[in-house]
Amino acid sequence: MVSFWWRPLGIVLGLAVLSLLLSGQFGTGSGWKLFVGGLGLYLFYHLRQLQRMAQWLARPERSPVTSDGVWGDVLYRLDKLLRLRQGAQQKAAADLEQMLEATRNLPDGVVILDESNRIQWLNLAAERFLGVSQERDLGQFIPYLVRQGRFVEWLNREDYAQTLAMDSPVSREKHLSLQLVPLPRLQKMLLARDVTDLARVDAMRRDFVANVSHELRTPITVIVGFLEAFDDMPDPSPAEFRKHIPLMREQSDRIRRLVDDLLTLARLESEPETKDETVDIPALARRLASEAEAMSQGRHRVTLNLESQSRLIGNSQELYSALANLVSNAVRYTPAGGHISLAWSATENGGMGFKVSDTGEGIEPQHIPRLTERFYRVDRGRSRASGGTGLGLAIVKHVLQRHQSKLRVESTVGKGSTFTAVFPAERVIPGKRPDEQAIGE
């Protein structure tokens, strides 16, 4: 900094001393001419340097101007500052682009609105949820595009603590939760979150509680009714009491089965993974076929086809529970004289399938996608009469999901149904293929 001030001052003082010396030898006029001329040249030099600097600053992408002396120091420091500023701007621009790209791909919808609720910016999720377009709707009033009275009223209130639940303008099946967030310069951000799954889970929870209450109410009412009747009798007859014991035991068993199934579902959902072991499915299939015959009591023809001795990697208790549910459903819902077939065979891509077929009444196509829902019944009266709890196929679905497997359902009304538990190749332990065998033929 010392050289910055003293160097030009030294040049001016040196020019003044030289002019004084010249004035002493050649007269005052000659000295003044030298001084004025020197100052003019010095001023021209500085003006020229200022012009070069101005041209460079107007186009900073050009090569930096170089010089010596005071201007060399100034131009060097200015070039350094410009480079630092350009680096900071480039970093800020890169950060902003990264943030915009991340926001553009957020799963939640984001719409930036000005103070008049005009759209300034929006991301891809907002296009999907609200039906607005980045190319078409920038600068448009969002109340004109999302024409729902509740939305317009909520938007005009600008209550940032209040959220709004509404159906998507694009699809009534999609449920949204909207929220406003204040931004600088009187702008605001509209957030749209897809809560369809949460709404579905909440509806399932309400239905589940209602269904459990309904399923328990009937048997409890029957048992309590008998107990109250016996309590009102002044001298209850033991014979009359014993006559009603079978019905009370039947209703008690119904409660026990329901509680057992509920506990099984709770355990399947609470345990994150299965405890894998080697499961001998052919032996399990023979056991299930014998149990089906015992449950049928000769009313059905039960056959077993083992096309493979392949085993599975899985949890034997869970797999038994799932496959036993399929077999017991076939026995319960197949009329007397029908045929129930169990098969263990290869499927596509190296997997295996446990197939349970029956010649029952069949299931209409609209019911098939909902069969694994808890307490979903195709025919409520027939299901209760058969002794089912309405949770069997829900248990099957959970067990198969824990084994990376799936349930395939095929049915024809009036001809019967086939339920196949399909296991992936990763869980199959290959075995030899035996001859087909039959049970009950």
pLDDT in tens, 193-204: 999 888 777 777
pLDDT for the residue 408: 94
Boundary (domain end) residue, out of 218, 253, 270: 270
Q: Which of 262, 255, 247, 266 is nearest to 215 (CA)?
A: 255
Residue 351 covered by a domain:
yes
pLDDT digits (tens, 9 = 90+) for 227-257: 787 777 777 677 777 777 788 887 887 788 7
b/e code 13-44 from CB counts within 10 Å (16+ = b): eebeeebeebbeeeeeeebeebbeebeeeeee
pLDDT digits (tens, 9 = 90+) for 80-91: 887 787 777 777
* Residue 305 DSSP SS3: strand
Answer yes or no: do 152 and 81 share one domain: no
- Domain CATH number, residue 262: 1.10.287.130
Give yes or no for residue 147 having a pLDDT over 90: no
**Do 407 and 396 touch, CB atoms closer than 8 A?**
yes
Residue 436 covered by a domain:
no
Confidence of residue 387 (pLDDT cuts 50, 70, 90): low
Boundary (domain end) residue, out of 101, 124, 143: 101
Give yes or no for residue 326 having a pLDDT over 70: yes
pLDDT digits (tens, 9 = 90+) for 47-66: 887 887 787 777 766 676 67
Highest mean pLDDT among 56-70, 203-217, 306-320, 379-393: 306-320
What distance in Å separates the CA atoms of residue 344 and residue 342, rounded to the nearest whole number?
A: 7
Residue 176 covered by a domain:
yes
Confidence of residue 185 (pLDDT cuts 50, 70, 90): confident
Which residue would you say has higher pLDDT here, 217 or 282? Answer: 282
**Do 305 and 420 touch, CB atoms closer than 8 A?**
no
Answer yes or no: do 249 and 393 share one domain: no
pTM of model > 0.85? no
Answer yes or no: do 257 and 137 share one domain: no
What distance in Å separates the CA atoms of residue 17 and residue 370, rounded to the nearest whole number?
A: 107
What distance in Å separates the CA atoms of residue 356 and residue 340, rounded to the nearest whole number?
A: 7
Among left, alpha and beta (phi > 0; psi -120 to 50; other), residue 9 is alpha
- The set of residues, in sequence order, having a beta carbon less than 8 Å from that of 61 and lying 6+ positions away, is none
Number of domains in the chain: 4
Which residue would you say has higher pLDDT here, 326 or 242? Answer: 326
**Do 413 and 364 touch, CB atoms closer than 8 A?**
yes
Boundary (domain end) residue, out of 194, 229, 260: 194
Answer yes or no: do 208 and 345 share one domain: no
What distance in Å separates the CA atoms of residue 244 and residue 248, rounded to the nearest whole number?
A: 6
Cα–Cα distances (Å) from 337 to 277, 290, 293, 296, 299, in that order, read: 38, 17, 13, 10, 6
Which residue would you say has higher pLDDT here, 258 or 359? Answer: 359
Residue type, 245: I
Across the range 118-132, mean pLDDT stands at 90
Task: Report the chain's mean pLDDT, rounded to a whole number.
Answer: 82
- Domain CATH number, residue 320: 3.30.565.10
Residue type, 368: I
Q: Provide the residue range defining the domain that includes 346.
A: 277-429
Give yes or no for residue 332 having a pLDDT over 70: yes
- The set of residues, in sequence order, having a beta carbon less than 8 Å from that of 40 and lying 6+ positions away, is none
Answer yes or no: do 406 and 281 share one domain: yes
Residue 440 covered by a domain:
no
**Do 305 and 437 touch, CB atoms closer than 8 A?**
yes
Across the range 306-334, mean pLDDT stands at 92
